Amino acid sequence: MNKKKQVQNLINWIDKSGIQDKNGGVYSWWDSKKNKYSFFYSEITGYYITLNLYLYKIYNTKNFLQNAENAANWIEKNALLENGAILTRKYLDEENDNFSFEGKNIFSFDSGMVLIGFCYLYKNTKNIKYLKIAVKIGNYIVDNFVQDKTIKPILNLNEKKYIIDNSKWSFQQGSFLNKVAIGLYELSQITNDDKYEKIGINICESSFTFLIEEDYFITNKEQNLVEMHPLCYSLEGMFFIGTNCKIQKYIDLTNNILDWTESVFKKNLNIYETYDPKENKFLDVNRSDIYGQLLRLLKITSKKNAIEKKLEDIILSTISVSERKNEKGGIYYNNSKQHVNSWSTMFNLQALILNSENILNQSNQKIELLV
């Protein structure tokens, strides 16, 4: 199957597979063995808003705009609290104190990804409702997570306390939170208030404390490991802010770390999720989202490299060729081929079709709509 057809299958999966429920919410994955969808995920619904607006920009068909609005309306009705907090996951048939709506752990990262979607949706529609929601979410992030020019990862509303756990990257005060700065930057753009942009820059600046010799960020402080998924989040935020705010050291740092990433890729002819700097090797954990994340970074930086074609080939090999509606064209999360994963599909689809014309605002040459 040629690349053009595979890309169209990816787009069809995003648009028509059912990964977005009729209520507008977006599931994390389709389980091909259990034959059912998983939980609704607010962070991923935020990505879905941004991706559909990106597709709308390219193809100019109203179904993508409608998908984005439906997703935003689900957030408003189900995940957005009156104070601006964003609940994390709505489980259908299981309990999870860490991530469930009922557990009331509010993640600054997830909130930031939803904020990004609402900012771009307001830019596209000029619907004042989306502006008001974006401001509410942004102010909640600033008022509750930002302290001393850094950002905390989790606030539990039930116990009114912060949670930091250095055994898991998403529970740490780490460099991956750079990506929240994208939402704060875009909030500055739609409110004409540069305080949000300045806070975003401070967040990126504080991430330098997790940097090792300008080669990589440590993403798991307890085990001193580099995990590629949050490492890419770190760089996405860093390069976006560096480019749009004209901060050269952020651009240079991104390129330095991509040099390191390319070197370990070429050594292994692949990348995996977890790298152990002490042992100078990957641990054998594969996941497909990191391929799209790395390929996007190489493209938006316009960095000369020798691995783009290999990354693209790997991505194309992860696409489901099943004829089942729930699976055809989606991307498997890992080699088990059990889960057709929503965010992996979104990241990898954008990576395959991204170019300087569709990822930059042509009027000012600034990055926009990075999922």
The pLDDT tens digits of the residues spanning 77-90 come to: 999 999 999 999 99
Residue 323 CA, chain-centre distance (Å), reads 28
Indicate whether 344 belongs to any domain. yes
The span from the CA of 291 to the CA of 349, in Å, is 11
Range of the domain at 167: 7-367
pLDDT value at residue 284: 74
Split into its structural domains, the chain has a count of 1
Indicate whether 1 belongs to any domain. no
Q: Residue 345 is encoded by which pair of tokens? A: 């599909």
pLDDT in tens, 10-50: 999 999 999 999 999 999 999 999 999 999 999 999 999 99
pLDDT in tens, 190-205: 999 999 999 999 999 9
pLDDT value at residue 62: 97
Quick one: which of 293, 292, 341 has its CA closest to 320? Answer: 341
- Residue 80 phi/psi, 5° resolution? -90, 120
What are the residue ranges in the chain where pLDDT is below 70? none
Indicate whether 281 belongs to any domain. yes
pLDDT value at residue 356: 93
Indicate whether 2 belongs to any domain. no
Quick one: which of 371, 350, 363 has its CA closest to 58? Answer: 350
Indicate whether 138 belongs to any domain. yes
Indicate whether 96 belongs to any domain. yes
Listed in order, strand segments (DSSP E) in 115-183 are 146-147, 150-151, 154-156, 161-163
Kindly report the pTM of this predicted structure: 0.98
Indicate whether 77 belongs to any domain. yes
Indicate whether 13 belongs to any domain. yes
* CATH number of residue 270's parent domain: 1.50.10.10
- Residue 219 phi/psi, 5° resolution? -105, -15
Residue 155 CA, chain-centre distance (Å), reads 20
pLDDT value at residue 57: 98
Q: What is the largest CA-CA distance in the chain?
A: 53
pLDDT value at residue 98: 93
